[in-house]
Amino acid sequence: MTTSPPRARQDAGALPPPLPAARRLLKHPALMHYNRLAALVLLANAAFTWAYWPLATPTLGHAALANLALAVLVRQQYVINLLFRLATAAPTTWPLKVRWTLGKVYHFGGLHVGGALAGTAWFLALTISTPDAALRAVGWTLLALLAIVIATALPPFRARHHDHFERIHRFGGWTALALFWTHTLLSSPGPWEVGVLAVVTFSVALPWLRLRKVDVHLERPSSHVVLARFDHGETPFAGSSTAISRSPLKEWHSFANVPTPGRPGFRLTVSRAGDWTGSFIDDLPQQVWVKGITTAGVANIEVLFRKVVYVATGSGIGPCLPHLLAAKVPSRLVWATRDPRATYGDALVDEILAVQPHALVWDTSRHGKPDMVRLAHEAYRDFGAEAVICISNKRLTWQVVHGLERRGIPAYGAIWDS
């Protein structure tokens, strides 16, 4: 473990210069792959409109259903895992630029956004062109509901009122699906429409069919963090996440699974980051609700590269830990946190150092906050890595990811799109 003073580490080497302006523009946050995928869906719909104009009323309905089905299905856990499996199947002998792009698979939410916007637009056109009074009534009701769901999913509202966004998205989505069924059945549907709606409905219901209450064993090394251990018959794969709740219809919180090689069950690292996590740490509940299918996360893209650097701050060590323990890919850890042993306990820190003896663990209570972009680049350079994976808060994640990418270094981190 390295804990050099701040000046010694941050003066160790200058950052490389930014890419030329044209290439740097493509790395701008506004042009990230998430937005590119959303634009691609909208452009595909525009091209379809241009190619087949004028469109018959049934075609409007088919286009609306196809896009809304895309919006729902691309968020289904099995589909997400399949997307990750396909993207990470590329061998490390492929050109780095190709693997760099494949690593952006976790931006798949752009397909969700594009499908939702296009589907709503098609349904608006369908409702306007429908002469039947009952269909128009259902259509305008559904459109009003979709407008509310879309408006509350926009980043400004979602960031400030995430609990409200989650509930509106959940209950509004269920109601919208029921209204879509009503509209479809009133329209004398064919087997295709009913089949697609049945698949969408099953996709929405499947995680809830796996809802159950399970025991949890909690260890609280400090007032800031709880280590939650589960052993209810499931050992998830490294890099997956599990959603837990104390009130299933109100709110859910996802945490990275930390399976230990050779042992059943798994752990979650829950740090104090709001009212829900705070009460969880203070109350130490004996049981929680779990649902759904363990789902791949951003760090699963590590297998696309020969060597990676993990950059974490605070409890961001949780999503990194399963990959460090599994050691599928040679890696180097840079972890900045407040008093690691006092906060997370000797056992966890020793476990990390056992698999990462050369890790840079930066104690912010002693040295202050470091320049994480510089530390990430230094580790990337010295270790000979091909990519950097950052697990931190939103501001610092974007700072590290875009600070490196605009300098031509593949970098990855959460995009907070759910």
The last residue of one of the domains, among 178, 209, 240, is 209
- Report whether 120 contacts 145 (CB < 8 A): no
Whether residues 280 and 327 share a domain: the answer is no
* 366 HSE (CA, 13 A, CB side): 14
Rounded CA-CA distance 349/353 in Å is 6
pLDDT at position 3, please? 53
133-137 contacts: CB < 8 A, separation 24 or more?
134/186, 135/183, 135/186, 135/187
Strand partners, 380: none
- Using one digit for the tens of pLDDT, what is the confidence trace for 196-237? 999 999 999 999 998 999 999 999 998 889 999 999 888 888
- Report whether 380 contacts 396 (CB < 8 A): no
Q: Note whether residue 15 is domain-resident.
A: yes
Q: Note whether residue 165 is domain-resident.
A: yes
Enter the DSSP assignment of 309. E
Where does the pLDDT of residue 26 fall: very low under 50, low under 70, confident under 90, or very high at 90 and above? confident
pLDDT at position 418, please? 64
- Using one digit for the tens of pLDDT, what is the confidence trace for 38-68? 999 999 999 999 999 999 999 999 999 999 9
Rounded CA-CA distance 177/318 in Å is 36
Where does the pLDDT of residue 139 fall: very low under 50, low under 70, confident under 90, or very high at 90 and above? very high
pTM: 0.91
| Cis-peptide into 54, omega within 30 deg | yes
Which helix (H) or strand (E) segment holds residue 362: the answer is strand 360-363
Burial readout 98-129 (b: 16 or more C-beta within 10 A, e: otherwise): ebbebbbbbbbbbbbbbbbbbbbbbbbbbbee
- Report whether 225 contacts 269 (CB < 8 A): yes
Whether residues 306 and 261 share a domain: the answer is no
The closest alpha carbon to 152, from 142, 167, 140, belongs to: 167
Angle between helices 191-209 and 162-186 (to 10 degrees): 150
Rounded CA-CA distance 14/299 in Å is 27
Place of tokens 């089905």: 69
Whether residues 201 and 63 share a domain: the answer is yes
- Report whether 360 contacts 336 (CB < 8 A): no
Whether residues 244 and 156 share a domain: the answer is no
Whether residues 56 and 168 share a domain: the answer is yes
Where does the pLDDT of residue 6 fall: very low under 50, low under 70, confident under 90, or very high at 90 and above? very low
Whether residues 397 and 316 share a domain: the answer is yes
Q: Note whether residue 224 is domain-resident.
A: no
Whether residues 11 and 92 share a domain: the answer is no
Task: Provide the domain count of the chain.
Answer: 3
Rounded CA-CA distance 227/216 in Å is 10
CATH value at residue 352: 3.40.50.80
Whether residues 339 and 306 share a domain: the answer is yes
Whether residues 255 and 361 share a domain: the answer is no
Rounded CA-CA distance 331/307 in Å is 6
Where does the pLDDT of residue 375 fall: very low under 50, low under 70, confident under 90, or very high at 90 and above? very high
State whether residue 47 is helix, strand or coil. Answer: helix
Q: What range defines the domain where residue 242 resides?
A: 232-296
Whether residues 16 and 57 share a domain: the answer is no
- Report whether 360 contacts 333 (CB < 8 A): yes
